[in-house]
Structure 1
């Protein structure tokens, strides 16, 4: 009879490559033949690809260009954090991607652009990296602050789909000795202030909101939990593809939402939030079965729009809807960045592709007295839509996040 240990090394390694990574480590202890077979690179190359979508291109740049070392020292202990995450920072949330890039696992934070330029790209900040040291061990480093990489711990979270970043030296995150200088520098960055421009700390409402945000963000600076963020994939036969969009939220500036289809509705959940409506809340809900077709005269004022009762509006079947209809921003409605989007697209926003009834979530500070208020969802372009808040007399513009998240 032939034993499995009598198989040629190439065949034995092929069979072993089908085993899970942790099992391979135990199999290596069985006998010398198994030990030698588990050292063959093709075994770990297969596991890297199957378990973490780690391919030959990803291997370049590592301190040790060995699938076995990268798998056992980095991917197996830390590969579960690769993906898109939302930091649990009070009401503010956030957007963080963790990818294999340039010989390391890198964590990158994406921040909304400076208000009110919704067409500007997201701001990028490097958070941490995991790479191999010269000795062949995983080196986990925090990249915050001006003082270079320093030690960081990655800990399990309280539930599945969570993890925690704990910086061992959060004092290295500071750029200035004085907290007041640190605050001023941070606010300048948030509002895009020019050098020498005075900040009205005591009077400007927007500045005061940022001041509160700075205080809360600092509470999570050294120890923060992250929750998995599941982004929807492309769909067929939908008015607009799902994905991430950045939009205007009045004094809170630009925020990011995740647009997805659920229960025959189009819903937008906040990825970044504010003290009024926090992250993760259902910010907008679009009723796809309540399409609208309005003339220019219908849209001259909010009163004329509100006078049109739903049962009197022509609501044809989706397949019978026109490909284009007039759009007019009603008199007295505050425009948040519409001219900026129009210039970016090099097209006047005088016509839209679709218009639907919907609702938007509003609340007082601290998410008190939350309620859903009537809105119109106005689709201009595959990457641009607007939300007309009827009761708030304002219109918010949303632009697709085009960065490779």
Structure 2
């Protein structure tokens, strides 16, 4: 029956009676030779079934839309009626408020005031550029952290106090707030001043500058009475009315790369008994930088990661003269190489770099800790430093405003993931830093170039 089905051109022999007579094998072979070849089948191009984004289930579309940036959702709502209705589902905007602005308010609190997450996002959106860290420019610098706190945008200021511990958290004091749950347009309430009572303020945003003005003049006045360039604190006179004016610059945290020795970021320290300070550690290829943000002490530490100092089980710290000799040799070689590079630039010639004393790879694997003791004769205001360290490098404390450029050589000591220190050989002084444990949102630099420009701006502001 199957042979019959094949000869009759039918796909199945079930229910089919063959009208051909049964033939012998010889006769079947002769018949095959006389049969005409079957015409070639025409090629029919088959297209996959049409499927569009609109055909997906609503639950899947909600999940897709909730993962898109809020800036794209407005255009998406204009494409069709179905998307327009889906984008009124509040769970989409709840996720956008949480991921973009760090909003942690629950839905019931918003429902009590009759506001949806979609409406709350619309009120937050104009202030998205002020969220993050800012820095006031004057003699003892101040940090400003702007966050979404409950149903408000709040700005808290931080200044290092005498009681700040190296391992302690940062305590911010409320400076201003913007209420977002009221039906009327949001207004800035200044909370600064000796009395601490809310009063009307004005905010101006220009690129990486944030300026806050208010009519109260009882704020702290331990600052210049006029603005220093575009940033700082001062008094302004408009329409015969005196205003307190505070101008902040954007502060980005350092980006992280796989070959960094430790995670970069903010660190606390005490330069001396009366000098708590906050610095930023960042990595730049063959160099690392420690940039002062607040307090007194070093302006900038430049760490040469390719000029490592061998520890020899920590014995080098027991003899200050030996440590100074090793650092002095590296410092002299660095000076010669810099002079040669400068001469080559002037002559327009280049020569291959020569290996230097103490040069080694910076991105080392896990190092076995060795004992650390403060060399005899070296002072420190805080004796609670770690007693073991991983590695050391040659570094310099740079004064960018000295002419000619003045650099004090020293030893950068990496204790662990959370601590580092620096021995200033010229003054025989040691200071160390512990990582700031606070986490900050909206502090990523838009590009590496923007971060480098910010560092230059910070360094140039110390006068």
Q: Please give the residue correspondences for 1:200-219 in structure 2 after superposition, counting only pairs within 5 Å.
A: 219=234
Q: Answer yes or no: is 1:305 the counterpart of 2:346.
A: no
SS state of the match for residue 120, structure 2? Answer: helix
The corresponding residue for 2:198 is 149
**Range 307-316 or range 390-399, more displaced:** 307-316
Partner SS, residue 420 of structure 2: strand
Distance 1:292 1:38, change over 3 A: closer
Alignment partner, residue 166 of structure 1: 212
8 Å contact kept, 1:324–1:352:
yes
Residues 1:42 and 1:297: Cα distance change in structure 2 (over 3 Å):
closer
Greater Rg over alpha carbons, structure: 2
Task: Report the CA distance shift for 1:147/1:290 in structure 2 as closer, same or farther (over 3 A).
Answer: closer
Q: Deviations over 1:67-98 (max 9, x none)?
A: 2321222x1221221122222x2344332221
1:126-165 residue CA offsets vs partner (Å, 9 max, x unmatched):
11111135434323211213242111222122xx2x2423
- 3-state SS of 2:178 partner: strand
Residue 53 of structure 1 and its aligned partner are, at CA, apart by 4.4
Residue equivalent to 1:289: 306
Query: Aligned partners of 1:171, 1:135: CA distance in 2, in Å?
Result: 30
SS in 2 for 1:334: coil
Residues 1:333 and 2:378 aligned together: yes
1:106-140 per-residue CA deviation (whole Å, 9 max, x = no partner) reads 21223224267434433321111111354343232
Deviations 1:348-379 (A, max 9, x none): x333111111111237xxx4445222111111
Q: Where does residue 118 of structure 2 map in the other structure?
A: 68
Partner of 1:225: 247
Tell me, in whole angstroms, the C-alpha distance in 2 between the residues paired with 1:383 and 1:225: 32
Q: Aligned partners of 2:392 and 2:55: how far apart in 1? A: 67
Render the CA deviation track for 1:248-286: whole Å, top value 9, x for unaligned: 334771221111111222212222255x87xxx6x1121
Rounded Cα–Cα distance in structure 1 between residues aligned with 2:289 and 2:376: 28
Q: How many residues align?
A: 343
- Aligned with 1:83 (options 132, 135, 140): 132
Q: Do the aligned partners of residues 169 and 381 (structure 1) sit closer, same or farther apart at CA in structure 2, a change above 3 Å counting?
A: same
CA distance in 2: counterparts of 1:325 and 1:56, whole angstroms:
44
- The 1-side partners of 2:233 and 2:274 are apart by 18
Tell me whether 1:271 sits opposite 2:302 in the alignment. no
Q: Secondary structure at the match of 1:70?
A: helix
Which consecutive unaligned segments of at least 5 residues does structure 1 have?
1-5, 175-182, 184-210, 343-348
- TM-score by length of structure 2 reads 0.61
1:24 Cα offset (Å):
3.6
1:102 counterpart (150, 160, 166): 150
* CA distance, structure 2, for counterparts of residue 269 and residue 60 of structure 1: 44
Per-residue displacement from partner, 1:297-322 (whole Å, max 9, x unpaired)? Answer: 53345333222344997666564885
Q: 1:258 aligns with which of 269, 272, 280?
A: 280
Work out whether 1:112 is the aligned partner of 2:160: yes
C-alpha distance in 2 between matches for 1:37 and 1:393:
67
**CA contact under 8 A between 1:373 and 1:391: conserved in structure 2?**
yes
Specify the SS of the correspondent of 1:231. coil
Counterparts in 2 of 1:320 and 1:141: CA distance versus 1, 3 Å: closer
TM-score, normalising length: structure 1: 0.68
Matched-pair contact (CA < 8 Å) for 1:333–1:395: yes
Moved more, 16-25 or 317-326: 16-25
1:222-272 alpha-carbon deviations (Å, 9 max, x no partner): 222222222135544543221101123347712211111112222122222
How big is each residue's C-alpha offset from its partner over 1:385-405, in whole Å with a ceiling of 9 and x where there is no partner? 110111121111111111233
Distance 1:26 1:236 in 2: 37
Match of 1:202 in 2: none
Separation in 1, partners of 2:169, 2:97: 33
SS in 1 for 2:217: helix
SS of 2:172 mapped into structure 1: strand
RMSD: 4.2
Unaligned runs of 5+ in 2: 1-53, 236-242, 334-355, 441-463
Relative distance call for 1:42 and 1:120 in structure 2 (3 A) is closer
d(CA) in 1 for partners of 2:82, 2:205: 36
**What does 1:46-61 align with in structure 2 at a 5 Å threshold?**
48=97, 52-53=100-101, 57=105, 61=109
Q: Distance in 1 between matches of 2:389 and 2:133?
A: 32
